A = this chain, B = another copy of it.
Amino acid sequence: MTRRAFSILAAAALASPLFSQDAPNLAGQYRDTANKLIDAALIDHDGLDKLSYLCDRIGNRLSGSPSLETAIAWAAAQMKADGLVNVVTPPVKVPHWVRGSESAMLLEPVAKPLTMLGLGGSVATPTKGITAEVVPVSNFDELEKKGREGVQGKIVLFNVPYEGYGRTVAYRASGPSRAARLGAVAVLVRSVTPVSLQSPHTGALEYNPAAPKIPAAAVTIEDATLMQRLADAGNTIKVHLEMEAHMLPDADSANVIGEIPGSEKPEEIVVMGGHIDSWDVGAGAQDDGSGIITTLEAAHLIVKLGLHPRRTLRVVFWTNEENGGAGGLAYREWVGDQILNHVAAIEMDGGAEKPSGFGITGRGDAQTILGKVRDIGKLLERIDAGSIQSGGGGADIAPLMKDGVPGLAVRTVGTHYFDWHHSQADTADKVKPEDLRANIAAMAVMAFILADMPDTLRTPPAATK
C-alpha cells in the first residue's frame, strides 16, 4: 500500500457516518449462495498454495524486476487454470528504480553499522558516499526552526515516533525535499512502523521538483533512537552513507486481467483486484500478494461452484502500485468508454489479517449505496466480516472512482499490517491460513452479489443498463 492509497482510505473514513435505509432484500435472496461460497472458502487450500508459490518461489517483485514479469506470466497462467476467460496482459510502462548496494555507518561518537533501507525513488550518493554530521529532528517544525544554518551540509534525521501510518508517513514522503530545501545533503528517516526488531521499512519518497534531489534512507527505530540519545547526551553524530540507488529507463510490465463473463449483462463489469508488484524486500506477502490471491481465489471458487453472475466479474492484478501507480492509470485508459459500464470496483490492499468487512465510497445517494452493501454484509456476519463502513477505494481503482465507479475496500482488524509492511518481514508466514480463507469468503460473497444483484451501486446507472 502506498502513501497515496492510505490517504485515500483515511480521507474516506473521515466522511460523515451514513445510516442504512430500509434494507433491500439482498441478504434473503443470496443467503444460500453466500453460504456455499463461505463454506467452500473456509476449507480452501488452493489460495494458500498460490500465495506460497508467489511468495516462496517468485519472491518480491519491484517494478522493472525480472521477478515481477515472472509473476505476471504466472498469474496469467494461473487465471486460465482457475477457469477465468479473456485473460490478457495489456502492456504498461513502469518506472524502473534500482536499489543497488547501500550502507550506512555511524562514525562518531562510536563506530557502528546502521541497519538501513534506501527509500524507493532515492537518488544515489556520490560513489565515495556522503560523510556528514547528523541533525535529529522530531517533526517539521523543529526542522524549520533549525533553518538553513542548522541544516546546511548536514544529514537530517527525522526521528519521528509512530502515530499511525497516515500521520507519520509524511516524513518519509516529503521529508527528503523539506530537508533539501534547507541545504541538507541527505536524509535518514526513522522507519514508519509501530514496532521494530532492528527492522528497516522502505517505501516511496516524493521529491519536490523545486528542491535538490538528495539521497534518503530509512533507519530502524533502534538506530534512530540511538542517534537521538547520543545527540541528547551532547555528542556530535557523524554518519557515512553510501547508496547506488538510481532510475533506469521505464520498463515493460503489464496488468493481468481475467474474467467470469456475465450471463445476462456481460458488458457490465465488477472489478476486483490488488497489485501484483511489491517492494524489493521480503516477499510482498501481505502487501499485496494476499490481495491478489484473495481476489483470484474468490473468482476460482465462483467458477468451481458453477455460479454464473449476471454481470462480468473481472479480476485485475495492477502493476506498479508501489512506486508510480502506472497500472491503475493504464487500466483506466485501457477500458476507455467501458468505464461507464463499470458498476463497482473492489480493491484489497491492506493485507489479509482477519477481515472485518468492507468500506464503500460511491456517488449519488450515499445512504442507498451503503444500505445495499450493508445488506450484503449481513451474509458475512457468520464470519464476523459484516461491518460495512463509509469510505472505500484504493490507489489502483482511484482513476475509476474519479470517473464515477463506486469503490470498495476490504477492511481487516489491521493489528500487525504495518509491522511487516515494506520490510523483509513481509513473508508468507505472516498470512494466517484461517484469515486468508475468511478474506476469500468475504470477497467471493461481496463480488458475486455485486455482479449478480438486480440493481447496481452506481448512480446514475451504468450506461448500457
What residues of chain A have their CB less than 8 Å away from a CB belonging to chain B? 49, 52, 56-57, 59, 109-110, 112, 115, 195-199, 221-222, 225-226, 229-230, 233, 282, 419-420, 423-425, 427-429
Contacts and interface: CB of A to CB of B under 8 A. Distances in A.
Given A112-B59, A222-B429, A429-B221, A229 B52 contact: yes
This chain: copies in complex: 2
A423 B233 contact: no
Contacts of A420: 197
Nearest to A423: B197
A252 to B, nearest CB: 23
Nearest to A58: B110
Contact of A222 (B49, B225, B233, B425): B425
Contacts of A196: 197, 425
A282 B113 CA distance: 11
A112 B282 CA distance: 11
A420 B198 CA distance: 10
B197 A419 contact: yes
B110 A56 contact: yes
Given A59-B110, A429-B225, A197 B424 contact: yes
Ranked 6 nearest A-B pairs via Cβ: A197-B425, A198-B424, A197-B199, A225-B429, A197-B197, A222-B427
A419 B425 CA distance: 14
A56 B231 CA distance: 11
Nearest to A429: B225
Contacts of A423: 197-198
Nearest to A110: B57
Contacts of A222: 424-425, 427, 429
A424 B59 contact: no
A115 B281 CA distance: 13
Contact of A226 (B115, B229, B429): B429
A110 B428 CA distance: 15
A229 B197 contact: no
A56 B229 CA distance: 8
A86 to B, nearest CB: 30
30 contacts: A49-B233, A52-B229, A56-B110, A56-B226, A56-B229, A56-B230, A57-B109, A59-B112, A115-B424, A195-B197, A196-B197, A196-B425, A197-B197, A197-B199, A197-B420, A197-B423, A197-B424, A197-B425, A198-B199, A198-B282, A198-B424, A199-B199, A221-B429, A222-B424, A222-B425, A222-B427, A222-B429, A225-B428, A225-B429, A226-B427
B197 A428 contact: no
Nearest to A52: B229
Name the residue in A59, A197, A222 with the highest tally of chain B Cβ atoms < 10 Å from its Cβ.
Answer: A197
A196 B225 CA distance: 21
A225 B433 CA distance: 14
Contacts of A225: 428-429
Contacts of A424: 115, 197-198, 222
Most chain B Cβ neighbours within 10 Å, of A229, A230, A419, A424: A229
A229 B49 CA distance: 10
Contact of A428 (B52, B229, B282, B427): B229
A292 B22 CA distance: 66
A428 B233 CA distance: 14
A419 B424 CA distance: 17
Given A57-B109, A198-B423, A222-B424, 18 more contacts: A49-B233, A56-B110, A56-B226, A56-B229, A56-B230, A59-B110, A59-B112, A197-B199, A197-B419, A197-B420, A197-B423, A197-B425, A198-B199, A198-B425, A222-B425, A222-B429, A226-B428, A226-B429
A418 to B, nearest CB: 12
Contacts of A110: 56-57, 59
Contacts of A230: 56
Which of A115, A196, A230, A423 has the most B CB atoms < 10 Å from its CB?
A196
A122 to B, nearest CB: 22
